[in-house]
Structure 1
Amino acid sequence: MRARALLPTLVALVVAVAACGSDAGRAAPRRTVTVLAAASLTEVFGRLEQRFEADHPGVDVRLSYGGSSDLAQQIVNGAPADVFAAANTATMDTVAKAGLAGKPQVFATNELRIAVREDNPGKVGSLADLARDGLVLVVCAPQVPCGAATAKVTRDAGVRLRPSSEEPDVKSVLGKVVAGEADAGLVYVTDVHARKDKVRGIAFPEAANARNDYPITVLDRAPEADLARQFVELVRGQAGREALTAAGFQVP
């Protein structure tokens, strides 16, 4: 009789232990911090993504790159994101004026370079050379930061360009030069650095008049605001500064 009385208790104990074992073996759900970043940040943010995930087990950094103006519009239109890093202050202002940016802080600067293949098929040596007849030139569309910088330097220098195409972001410009679809393109110092195995950069003095400041912010509607702040701290901290400098950026 006593053994029968203990049976329900033993069964309940076995079930409870099994349940605890099952809970213990179940992995905790991963958290995701979504970062929208200018295309020119692709390489350096890729390295910082790996650093952040290594320091934050269970966290996935989801990076989305593109032209800053397009990313800003996505944010204004309600795209869920935690961090926005733009290639100039004007595109960040679009987000700030919509009441969606926190306190943007400049973390890097960049400037234009002429990118050509190693054999320099167009024999380009200066900004003025980009206006030559017959030269196949690609630039960024005017609404994106590299396009706005291009417009400023050419206007100040009195050089009129006739590009064969205006691309949605700086990586698209670089890609056409690398693929041999263009003789030259206007990109950033950092883009030339990233593909130094395929292209070389030609500096020109007018570029100093159109340096781009890169601001970063935690977005006001960030689903993972705490992780977002930590990612921004990484970018602006020593590790971030070292990664940015190694990629060819200037840091404040």
Structure 2
Amino acid sequence: MTARWIRAALAGLAVLGLTLTGCGGADDDGSRAGTGGTLTVFAAASLTETFTKLGKDYEAAHPGTRVVFNFAGSSALATQITQGAPADVFAAASPATMKTVTDAGDADGTPAVLVRNQLVVAVPKGNPHQIGGLADLARPGAKVALCAEQVPCGAAAKTALAAAGVRLTPATLEQDVKGALAKVKLGEVDAALVYRTDVRGAAAELDAVEFPESARAVNDYPIVVLKHAGNPDGARAFVDHVRSDAGLAVLTAAGFQAPPNR
């Protein structure tokens, strides 16, 4: 019994405790050859809405396939993968978190940049606190949510704030971008530094304040088939699906930017 087998078994039990979102489709045991069966995709929290749609589209095009997602902060997902959690595809919100997986030898091939994303300041509808840029986040009494530094949105926020010469003490540090966004929705903070795509998806409740320093903190989103994928054929087909012109159209409609090579 190898050490990796033991790690995989333990990580697999841990993953069972996570909230895994399936897209529907046939309930398959994953044993079928080809692109059928169950496909497990670990993806950055900011991809939740778009990948859920792309997963449904993929299932419709591949009868007998069930796509199961684990959405969370990229750093947490990378750790789960390197500890042996069973997954077929990893889509991260930064090259740094993907590097954790490639350095551990858990990627099958070279990751490809899927899309890019950029930060905005999320504020309640109507911008009641009149926030016009990063400097306003440091005003006395301002309550701001940031992602933790080890999370891609937190690392990007740190870069943007440094570029603007702004220092602030956040009211809260969240483990993924959805957590930071929720703090604004609930009225617990005045603003949060999150991705443009997340605010666009919550346009009924929130407004986005653009700021020039965000151009210094653009995040590339790499995607890769995992080396120990239980469904490698399905994994490769899914990656091709989300990187296709149709897949890119879904992603860019949500506010993601096409990668430089597209």
Q: Which of 107, 113, 135 is matched with 1:106 structurally?
A: 113
**CA deviation after TM superposition for structure 1 residue 123, in Å:** 1.8
**CA deviation after TM superposition for structure 1 residue 120, in Å:** 2.0
**CA deviation after TM superposition for structure 1 residue 29, in Å:** 4.8
Give, in whole Å, the separation in 2 of the partners of 1:36 and 1:199.
27
User: Which residue of structure 2 aligns with residue 175 of structure 1?
Assistant: 182
Q: Deviations over 1:126-164 (max 9, x none)?
A: 110001110111010000000000011111221001110
RMSD of aligned alpha carbons = 1.1
User: Which residue of structure 1 aligns with residue 21 of structure 2?
Assistant: none
**Equivalent residues in 2 for 1:6-155, closer than 5 Å:** 29=29, 31-102=37-108, 103-155=110-162
Q: Quick one: which amino acid aligns to residue 205 of structure 2? A: K
> 8 Å contact 1:32–1:224 — kept in the other structure?
yes
After superposing the two structures, state which structure 1 stretch, 101-110 or 27-36, moved more. 27-36
Query: Which has the larger Rg?
Result: 1
User: Which residue of structure 2 aligns with residue 7 of structure 1?
Assistant: none
User: Which residue of structure 1 aligns with residue 193 of structure 2?
Assistant: 186
Q: Deviations over 1:88-117 (max 9, x none)?
A: 000000000000012200010001000001
After superposing the two structures, state which structure 1 stretch, 29-38 or 197-206, moved more. 29-38
Give, in whole Å, the separation in 2 of the partners of 1:147 and 1:219.
25
Q: Which of 228, 239, 243 is matched with 1:221 structurally?
A: 228
Give, in whole Å, the separation in 1 of the partners of 2:29 and 2:132.
55
Where 2:76 maps in the other structure, the secondary structure is helix
Q: TM-score, normalised by structure 1?
A: 0.88
Q: Quick one: which amino acid aligns to residue 36 of structure 1? A: F
Give, in whole Å, the separation in 2 of the partners of 1:212 and 1:43.
18
> 8 Å contact 2:126–2:207 — kept in the other structure?
no
After superposing the two structures, state which structure 1 stretch, 152-161 or 215-224, moved more. 152-161
Q: 1:28 to 1:232 in 2, by over 3 A?
A: closer
Q: TM-score, normalised by structure 2?
A: 0.84
Q: Structure 1: any 5+ residue segments left out of the alignment?
A: 1-26
Give, in whole Å, the separation in 2 of the partners of 1:29 and 1:245.
33
Q: Quick one: which amino acid aligns to residue 229 of structure 1? A: R
**CA deviation after TM superposition for structure 1 residue 121, in Å:** 3.0
Give, in whole Å, the separation in 2 of the partners of 1:150 and 1:168.
13
Q: Which of 165, 168, 178 is matched with 1:158 structurally?
A: 165
| More helix by percentage | 1
Where 2:192 maps in the other structure, the secondary structure is strand
Q: Quick one: which amino acid aligns to residue 198 of structure 2? A: D
